[in-house]
Amino acid sequence: MKTKIKKVLEEAAISTFEDICFMYAVPELKEIQNNLKMEAAAEVKYHGDYTGKLLIETRGGLFSAIAANILSNDIPTPRQKRDALGEIANIICGNIVTCLGRGEQGYKIESPKFLKKDMLGKEEQQGKPLSEITLNFNEGRADVKFFVDGYFDAKEKKK
């Protein structure tokens, strides 16, 4: 499941940034953008046969660039930036939960939640993501993490 999720996460994130934000990954920037400070984050929780969340963190100017590109507005407001980041997280999450399988319950995706800087440290304490990717763009960097509650606990019990 982990390998499948990583592949789908990467495909969903790349296509979302390309199709919605008109941004294209530039892997060559990995070294240069390695130490960028986090500027903003959003999460989307999902419930169904599995529960968990998708967390997206932006660095190096990507937070503003997402909203500017989506809205065709060079100077987006703080609210527009938060909403645009949340929408990107929502789209990516919606594309990933479908690969978890069609269970009896289906899946409900909650509204995106913008995370303030004081909440970012708390989010990192919530366990290990099932999969995570980093995408480097000319506009900055995105770290996308997908969590499935209890996945690693269940794996440890089987050993």
CA angle 145, 147, 148 (to 5 degrees): 155
For 93-107, the pLDDT digits (tens) are: 999 998 887 667 788
Query: At 152, is the pLDDT very low, low, confident or very high (cuts 50, 70, 90)?
Result: low
Q: Name the nearest CA neighbour of 86 among 133, 41, 137.
A: 41
Tens-digit pLDDT profile for residues 35-67: 999 999 999 999 988 899 999 999 999 999 999
What is the total count of domains within the chain? Answer: 1
Q: What percent of the chain has pLDDT over 70?
A: 88
Q: What is the pLDDT of residue 14?
A: 98
Confidence check: pLDDT of 17 > 80? yes
CATH number, domain containing residue 69:
3.40.1550.10
Query: 65-118: per-residue pLDDT in tens?
Result: 999 999 999 999 999 999 999 999 999 999 999 888 766 778 899 999 999 777
Average pLDDT rounded to a whole number, residues 134-155: 85
Residue 106's domain comprises 2-158
Return the structure tokens found at 86. 């949340």
Alpha-carbon gap, residue 154 to 148, rounded angstroms? 11
pLDDT at position 103? 66
Residue 122 in this model has a pLDDT that exceeds 70? no
What average pLDDT does the structure give for the chain? 89
The pTM assigned to this predicted structure is: 0.89
